[in-house]
Chain A
Amino acid sequence: MTHLRFLQPLFAALLLACSLPALAAYDIGQLMNDLSRNKGGRAKFVEKKFLAVLDKPLVATGEMTYTAPDRLEKRTMTPKPETMLLEKDSLTLEREKQKLTINLASQPEALAFIDSIRGTLSGNRAALERNYGLHLSGSAEKWTLTLLPSDQKIASLVQRITVSGNRGQVRQIEYLQADGDRSLLAIEPVTTP
């Protein structure tokens, strides 16, 4: 509706900065190569959020489905059902009968943030290096990729993203937010078809 359209940026801006899962190498090139061969699949996830303001961590569980190269669906089952769908440049959130679609192209900072997930999952090194400095440690069987934002605007949202996994499969993503709060996303693939 017209009169309220101007408020959209508000909504969208407030929604940015959400936590999203990602995938990652030994030699970055090899890792990217392995990641890009992963054409997708289904996985269970457990996400723990450690917030300074809360006495206990928050735990959310559910399932996520990745379809290469740019479709990621995250279905939270507990504590409240919620669906997040990232498809190309659009991010859709559905919760309690409410549906919100955000066009990421209109939000360059959000896009850069989303690119950290998308770039990792699809093994797109160029996309990742556009906004992050990449550091890889470990072996092919157990690697850890650290993403450090090179852009100040992104750094104001997230300090560090740490992705770990084996070969082309991402197993865990840790977000360290700018304010020190942290979230840990553990991913358990459900039989790769």
Chain B
Amino acid sequence: MILNGIITGIILILIGLYGMIAKRHIFKIILGLIIISTGIVLFFVSLGYVNNGIAPIISGDNLYVDPLPHTLMLTTIVVEVCITSLALVLALKIYEKYKTLDIKILEDI
């Protein structure tokens, strides 16, 4: 298996997923979320790559990469920022109320 952008993106998503499921600390779960979103961005941007293509700014008759996945990722980045900010605010509030960020302790309360 050759390690290219698509595979690396999926591996990043898997690492983030592992972090979200296995880790007990809320902040680490949020970090997992951020890693997942990085992975998805890498995955999509690699999907649009064309061998020897250049950036899709039209100037003459060249080979260009696919512009659509890049555009979609601009939207996704903003969405992920919003979700992360919301998750951080919730974590802040949870700490304020329970004085802990450990999922295992929180579940028992």
A and B are interacting partners:
no
| Partner-A contacts on B (CB < 8 A) | none
| Partner-B contacts on A (CB < 8 A) | none
